[in-house]
Amino acid sequence: MEMEERQEKSMNEDVIVTKNLSKTYGKGDLQVKALKETDITIKKGDYIAIIGPSGSGKSTLMNLIGCLDRPSSGKLYIDDTDVYKLKENELARIRREKIGFIFQKYNLIPTLTALENVMLSMGFAGVDSKSRIKKAKKLLDMVELSHRIEHKPSELSGGEQQRVAISRALGNNPTIVLGDEPTGNVDSKSGNKIMEILENINNKGETVIIVTHDPNIAKRASRILRIEDGVVREENV
């Protein structure tokens, strides 16, 4: 009974909390408020889709949550840590250890093989070569690409490149997986495969947050956040 209570408590932990989080670009008459005083609480194991029209602030919010950008004001807590009070090297550690980022345009290194691309983030974390190779092969097998490990990005389809990018994002066992339009550059069959992979990750207890323009993709999430003109509102799924 005690173990069940501990597991339930763990699944209800607040992983990400924002307080009055805002981002403004430009100055004076050219000032644009991309994100306005946003309060969000995201719990361990949440599966969230962020939707809204182009220019509404979706990617801005994702980049702030992923610690790729700093807010103009407000606070962001990850596992109770006020991350923007951290020094840059400490912030880099948070990104490396807690966050896996999947980019719309894959951001793979063109001169490296699929295996080497997946190994890259583990290298930055100080994982030894033998362990990196073993883990990268396991991750590529998980996304059904074990037969393509020696292929470079130019030799892979868009869907295959995105699956390599997902494997790379999982290299350091992140507790938060962020996907910025993860199906945006692939066909519907590849998109479904990618979403199945993300759902399997979420089913294992990890927090998954995606930005998408596709309402059918958004409906697969357990929570939907809609952004319009920098204002975030929760929608019923």
Residues 70, 71, 76, 82, Cα dihedral to 10°: 60
Give the start-to-end residue ranges of the domains of the chain. 44-53+87-235
Q: CA 67, CA 64: separation in Å to the nearest integer?
A: 5
Q: For position 14, what pLDDT does the model report? A: 92
Tokens of 24: 């403004």
Contact between 60 and 23 under an 8 Å Cβ cutoff? The reply is yes
Q: Report in angstroms the alpha-carbon separations of 173 from 59, 121, 207.
A: 23, 11, 12
Q: CA 138, CA 143: separation in Å to the nearest integer?
A: 9
- Verdict on whether the full-model pTM lies above 0.75: yes
Q: For position 103, what pLDDT does the model report? A: 87
The one-digit pLDDT tens for each residue of the chain (237 residues) are 433 443 444 445 899 999 999 999 988 778 889 999 999 999 999 999 999 988 888 989 999 999 999 999 999 999 999 998 999 989 989 998 899 999 888 899 999 999 999 998 888 788 899 999 999 999 999 999 999 999 999 999 999 999 999 999 999 899 999 999 988 888 888 888 999 999 999 999 999 999 998 888 999 999 999 999 999 998 765
> Which CATH number is correct for 44-53+87-235, 3.40.50.300, 2.60.120.200, 3.30.565.10, 3.40.50.1100?
3.40.50.300
Q: CA 131, CA 129: separation in Å to the nearest integer?
A: 5
Q: For position 237, what pLDDT does the model report? A: 57
Q: How many CB atoms lie within 10 A of CB 212?
A: 24
Contact between 32 and 26 under an 8 Å Cβ cutoff? The reply is yes
Write out the DSSP string of 74-136: EEEEETTEEGGGS-HHHHHHHHHHHEEEE-TT----TTS-HHHHHHHHHHHTT--HHHHHHHH
Residues 11, 207, 204, 212, Cα dihedral to 10°: 140
